[in-house]
Structure 1
Amino acid sequence: MRNRRSQQLHRAVRRASRAGNGPPPAGSVPRRPGPDWPRLVELTSVLLASVVAVLSLWFSDRQVSNQLRIARDELSTTKEGQITERYTAAVGQLGEDSVDVRLGGIYALQRNMQDRSRDHPTIANVLAAYLRTHAGTPPKGGKQAPPDVLAALDVISGRNSAHDGSFVPDLRSTHLPGVELGWDPSSPVAADRRRAQLRRAILRDCDLRDAHLSGADLRGARLARADLANADLRGADLRDATPARANLRDADLSDATLRKADLRGADLRGADLWGTDLRGAVLYRANLAGLTFGEARLDGADLRGADLTDAGISRDHILSVRIDSETKLPPRLARDPDVRARIARAEAENDGF
């Protein structure tokens, strides 16, 4: 009886274990749970939806970028066309009979020059050619240059020279008496302190009588035979300039810089040279009669053959420059032993050469 009950109990336990209602029998291996297919399907769906969303955003961004690029290209093309039309119209205005229309053309070209730096050299050349044409003869009745000429000159001298490229202001043989391109360094207004940009300008045979060029940048300017009588060149930078045989009578060159300038044969009678830097300048056969050099610096200047008759020049000045027997000196200096010795050395050097 007891054995039968034990067998019945054992069979009941095994049935319960097989039905999942109890612990597995001792010594048996537990079964691994199967995959959760609903959960996997849900995760896969979310992942695919995310990939589709990212791809959609990428394609949308590419499309917008392409549209923006096309719009920019179209805008640039339209702007280029407008600038070209403005340039063509402005150049056309320069040939009109009315001064007012020509003025409009000049200022339109200035605007084009400021808007597009790559056209800067071309426009500057057009305006320089305009000046050579319209200022090629003296103003009627000895008057000042006409408004359109002054406007073109103002645009050229006030340009941003950083965009010049190969442009050089070519104003040779122009008649510009009394033009006002000077500056006032004491003025608080920036426009008044602007230096006229005439570096390396070609101003040969140019009429600049009574011109106001104080503070002008004339470095390397070619001024051979230019008429600068009574011109205001205070504080102007004329380093390496070539005003050979130029008329500088009564010109104000106080505090100007003419280091290594070529002034051979120039007429400087009556010029103001107070504080002028003439170090290394070539004044060969220049007319300096009656000049007062004051605080001028002359170290290394070439005064061979120069006329210094009655000039207010010191002995120290003479001993610091290059002179020869053809240099016309004031009597007191011509008799000075040291000066005579210097001339003798110069002549000996010339004979040796």
Structure 2
Amino acid sequence: MSDNKTDTPRNSFIFLISFTVFALFIISSVMVAYFLWDISPSDERLKNEMEALKTTATIFGVIAVLINAYYAAKRWEAMDKSADAANKTAKAALQNAQAAQDKQITERFAKAIEQLGNEKIETRLGAIYTLERIAKDSKDDHWTIMEVLTAFVRVNAPLKLQEEVKKEEVLKLRTAIRVVITVIERRHRENDLEDSMIDLSETNLSEVNLNKVNLQGANFIGTNLQAAEFKEANLQQANLSSANLEDAYLRKANLQEANLTGTNLQRAKFPGANLQEANFLGANLQGAYLSGANLQGANFWGANLQGSSFSGANLQAVNFQTADLTGAYLEETKNLEQQQIESAKGDRTTILPENLQPPEHWKTKVLPFEPQR
């Protein structure tokens, strides 16, 4: 309102000045024409009159151009003000919409958290999928929701389940946990925090089906994964140290650079698995099946490999230092060299490739039917 009140007298003043200047130019032009008419010879009067009229027309045109330019500038100024006002309105509307969306997300998040503890499995699953949707809708809430979901697993699947928990409830929990893991693996990884990892440590995930899951870099320290299935799963760089994978099935799984230090892998099956540069330091692989696996650069320092099978496995640059190869089957392996087994433990039950010889320090077992010397 103040701008309009100021512009009205200003516009009137400018119009008055313009009109006065225009009138003065007209009067001056007439006087000049009259003077020229009066002093000029008769044969030049017509010519002077035309020149005076041309001068007057030029002056009038210049004044018209100036007035038009002024009002054009005023129109542009008004348009700029309108555009600024529209931008401010749009910005305010966007802020209001963002605030409304944030409020809605907060309400949905709070309700989903509440429903995670519901006794009904369908309500729990609905809450899990709601959290997944929020994680996709809100980049800022993505990692918070991943932490909530992993915490749900750790709380509801501890290593020592209470004895009074009913079998039916355990089955419901397993269903919910499997859905949580599915949601976690299909998350938008580009929204993960830097140097963060999915934490499923110290949980009881025995017999869980994790076939084809992508849990690259996940933390499974101390987790019970007994008889779990990881067929074609991606566990690259995962930390499985001190975990229990007894009787686990890991066919064609990717455990490249995985940490399996001190892990229990008794009778675990790794046919065709990628175990390049995996660390099995001090791990128990007694009776493990590693046929066809790629173990290039893997570290078995101090590992228990008694009765394990490496048929068709790639053992290039594998470290068997102080590993126990008693009863292990290494006959059809690839790229195994004499120097790799020199510092390992073994005996006559260890089956080596034809081109290799048992080290001198391996003790020969005496069979019951053979006469002792």
Q: Taking structure 2 as the reference length, what is the TM-score of the superposition? A: 0.73
Structure 1 residues 295-342: Cα deviation after superposition (integer angstroms, max 9, x where no partner): 211122222333323322138625262542634464665998855379
Q: Which range moves more in the overlay, 255-264 or 63-72?
A: 255-264
Q: Which residue is 1:210 aligned to?
A: 227
1:305 and 2:322 aligned:
yes
**Cα distance, 1:168–1:325 mapped onto 2, change above 3 Å:** closer
User: Residues 255-334 of structure 1 correspond to what in structure 2 (within 5 A)?
Assistant: 255-314=272-331, 317-319=336-338, 321-324=340-343, 326-328=345-347, 330=349, 333=352
**Of 166, 173, 176, which aligns to 2:202?**
173
**SS of the residue 1:298 aligns to:** coil
Is 1:96 matched up with 2:118? yes
Tell me how far apart the structure 1 counterparts of residues 44 and 361 of structure 2 sit (CA, whole Å).
130
Q: Which residue of 2 aligns with 1:73?
A: 95
Q: Which residue of 1 aligns with 2:242?
A: 225
Deviation at 1:70, TM superposition (A): 0.9
Which residue does 1:113 correspond to in 2?
135
- Contact 1:262 / 1:282 at 8 angstroms: preserved in 2? yes
Amino acid in structure 1 at the alignment position of 2:73: V
Return the alpha-carbon distance in structure 1 between the equivalents of residues 302 and 107 of structure 2. Answer: 54
Question: Identity of paired residues, percent?
Answer: 27
Name which of 145, 149, 152 aligns with 1:127: 149
Paired residue for 1:340, among 347, 359, 372? 359
User: 1:328 and 1:63, CA in 2 relative to 1: closer, same or farther beyond 3 A?
Assistant: farther
Aligned position for 1:35: 56
**What is the distance in 1 between the residues matched to 2:256 and 2:147?**
24
Alpha-carbon spacing, 1:322–1:123, altered in 2? closer, same or farther (3 Å) = farther
**Residue 157 (1) aligns with residue 185 (2):** yes
Task: Return the alpha-carbon distance in structure 1 between the equivalents of residues 185 and 238 of structure 2.
Answer: 13
Asked if the contact 2:174–2:208 (Cα under 8 Å) also holds between the matched residues in 1, the reply is no
Deviation at 1:140, TM superposition (A): 5.0
Letter in 1 for 2:223: C
**8 A Cα contact 1:224 1:243, kept in partner:** yes
Give how far 1:113 is off: 1.0
Q: Tell me the equivalent position of 2:7.
A: none
